[in-house]
Structure 1
Amino acid sequence: MQHGVAPHLPDAYNAAIDGVEIGPAAGSCGTAMHERAPVIAEDIESDPRWADYRDLARSHGLRACWSVPIFDSNDEVLGTFALYHEQPTAPTEKERTLIDQARSLAGVAIERHRTAETLRDREQRVEALYDAMSILTQSETPHELAEVLLDLVTDTLDYPVCAVRYVEDNRLVPTVASPPGREILGPHADCAVDGPHAAAEAFRTGTTLHYNDAAEADGIDAPSPLQSVAHVPLGPYGSLSVGMTESGSIPPFDVRLLDVLAQNAESVLRRIDHEQELVDAKETAEKMSRLKSAFLANISHEIRTPLTSILGFAEAIGGEVEGARRVEEVDLASLARFSSLIEQSGQRLMDTLTGVLNLSKLQTGEMTLDLEPVDLAAEAAAAAHEFAPQADGAGVALELTEEDTAVWARADRSGVQIVLRNLLSNAIKYTEEGGTVWIRARTDGEHAVLEVEDTGIGMDPNTADVLFEAFKQASEGIGREYEGTGLGLTVTKEVLDQMDGAVAVETEQGEGSRFTVWLPRAAEEGEEPERGTSGS
């Protein structure tokens, strides 16, 4: 009990009864509140309900006390209205009527006062929240928003226990938590989205869960010192959790404020997502623009250069033939040299178009791959034989390291040849005269492995990751040192992806490179083929 208005009672008496616990023997007022009924103590000296407070009353000259409970419109006890007397006495019927009327008026007055205070408090909270909401809308990252959200709940709404969780890998992971919350609950652990945690349930259902009493079934995750909690969903992003250690300390109005706050936070998170999508789209567009520029620069060079050679040598042949009066005057050696150069330029054109078409077919799913046992050792030997003339012409030694047994991989034979041709072509192209290129086939656990190593120019290891992007070379454009579209390694990676394989490069500037290819190992040659396509 706490005294409200008692102008005629001694201050010492008021101070003595402040804080007395309500119960069946708590004088007239405490007992009236407990029993929700009038308590008329005509003589305090003999009334058993005053046994513990009789000496206190006597010391202040109080001999009788009539007390009636005051109720609000919901029939909840607000307090008591009491009359004290200096002599033992009982109320008359008229006095009882007056007391009852006073009790009713007091109930109305107290309830109106409390309602006004509640409205003022709510108005202040709404205004403070509205003023602070602008800070929320200025958040630029989800983590920054979580920090602002935490401050709004703890400082503006005055709930010290608060945590914000975001969804990561199908789990609700605590992003920020208030210091009092960490002190009371310890470290906040993440929880499965489909698990029993109340925050997860609020997230799954999209509905705020509010419990004002720990005794409510499954309301509060046990064990927990919290008695009141509210878990508010943040749309598809996560949840906001608020708790108090006292029962009934999160009123419904504040839960609605938390709902409004969470809805605004969700809107900001959607805006952040949208802005990030725009940034990603811009970066993608810029990357595609750079790729287009690289493509145009490379492809124009790779088409114009051989075409210029073909036209020039064809014109030279024509001039040679037209200038001769008899067949015997035609320089056959020159014709042979010109026709050979035309063939080389034509092959370069064909390689360029083949690379573009292969990449297009792989990326659109038009190239079908039959996955079956393929002997990588045999394919490596065939590729070495095919590229031996090119290596000899470049003054490069091509060495094949052969296994005593077959190296069976689950792959597509034509796909393996595409990989080997691209890797060997690059190795010979980028290896200077007098250098060496090795080709190896071996097994490594559950994988069949191909290696192509060279003593060529190599490159900076920090730039090796971009090698497998389309149109990427050590040099690009019409001023580059080496010919080629920059598609070979891109096609190689695409083919290997379709065969459940992988490729990696080890390189060092001026020392050479080694490309390693891993493919699933096939158990035996008779393994049933599996139809694969180049779709992603």
Structure 2
Amino acid sequence: MEVQHLLDTNEARLKAVIEATPECIKIVSPDGQLQFMNKAGLCMIEATDAQSVVGGCVFDLIAPEHRAAWIDNHNRVCNGESLHWEFDIIGLNGTRRHMETHAVPMSNSEGTLSQLAVTHDISLKKASDRVLKRNAIILKGQKYALEQAVHGRPIKDVLDTIVKTVEEQSECQLFACILLLAPDGKHLLHGASPSLPQHYNEAVDGGEIGPFAGSCGTAAFKGEEITVADIENDPLWANYKELALSHGLRACWSTPILSSQNKPLATFSLYFRTKQTPSPDDREAVELMARTAGIVIEWYREISERKALMAQLETRVSERTTELNNVNAELQSSNDTLEQFAHVASHDLKEPVRKIKIFTSRLQEEVGDQLTDRGKTYLNKILSSAERMSTMIEGVLNYSVQNGAEQLTEKIDLNVTITEIRNDLEVLIQQKHAEITVGQLPVIEGDRILIHQLFYNLLNNSLKFTNDTTYPKIGIEATPVVNGHQAAYNITITDNGIGFDQKQREKIFDTFTRLNSKDKYDGTGLGLALCKKIVQRHHGMISASSEYGKGAAFQVVLPVVQPGSGGEQPV
């Protein structure tokens, strides 16, 4: 009696534990009849009590797509195996749950084996895993699409990545598509739809948008999402349903892809093979990827516009460069012609002017005593004008020859050059009682004849433009400087002459420019222009400073070594 009492007590305790367990505990016979199920299991299959299900076949509770696998595993357990697997059930009230079961064989009194199983409802865990997986897929797709864009991949490749990401997160239960709004704003162009049939893609490429243009064309036209759960019977697809149905497409949902200014750029569409609407998860995935697509499309359009603008600018620059080259060629040709003309004209004019001077001098000698004072004045004026004309012709000739001559480079000791110039101007220096002070001057590279002409003109100017009451004082000094990246010397020539208005400091280097009366100071107006051109040909600079009545200072900066000459810079 005590043993029986103990057995009864233990059985009662076991039943209490089984009933209190939150997992489903069940026993299923080899033919699939439910022999036992605890309260937790009855709740999972939505049964009100055990009597309503015990003795019934559990196969009917298994989701159709999992039923065959479940029966196969059940038979294996009833043949002595212990197994673990997952499946979906559909409760008596239609609720779907994802289950995980651990099953072992249990002996029956008649010698057969039944399935004893402990089953867990893992629907929430499975849903959480799906969310994590979906988020990981979407995040990976967004990252890869942006990387492709940054690395300059074609926009089709980037949009394909975006579309495939949406398809993958749905476990390929749908077809995704992006159509781009054409530049005219009236048509849709194929963007990406790698899973749709090629014939369908070709057919919709270039389709016109409108109020009854399927899901995509209508979404682009209205700027809002369009849901068509039944393509066959929806009026929006009246003109296109044969195309869709022939490719097994039964439903379509489309939403516009907007720019940063909320203007339509494209449409993002989902196609289904059954009549349905997109799930919240699919809509969320499209919303996220559509933002990425909007960024990419807008960026590529900006790049395309910039490239087009750059191409236009390059074309305009090329055209302008060609025009400038043509103008420069014409100017060069004109300059060459003018230089030739100046050279020929000045050279040919020298002879008649020489004859005017000769015959005027002979006339003075032969009949000078017979002329009146007025006649003598006229002859003097003729001779003076001839002298000035001869000087001007010589200046024009020198200017034209210097402008076209090839420069010969050699080492020049400026100390020697100034000494030679002082000898050339000896008579004028004596007449003017001029005092010339010269510091130590450098050795530079240049054309010896042109450098001589440069300093001759500058010294001659200082001697010419003097006050009648003051003896000329002229100073020449040299200071080392850096001109750009080249060693150079700044050679300064100062005088105490009449000077000039500082406002004229640039004008004095222009051709034929005279600041003083030609009756009082002779000259051609070419001297300083020639100086400027010589300095420029030697890659130097020339400038002047003065105050009227207080002398002038000319600064000439010349490099020690001429560029391209192969000479060595001084240390």
TM-score category of the 2 structures, normalised to the smaller one: 0.3 to 0.5
- TM-score by length of structure 1 reads 0.42
Greater relative CO (CA pairs within 8 A, separation 6+): 1
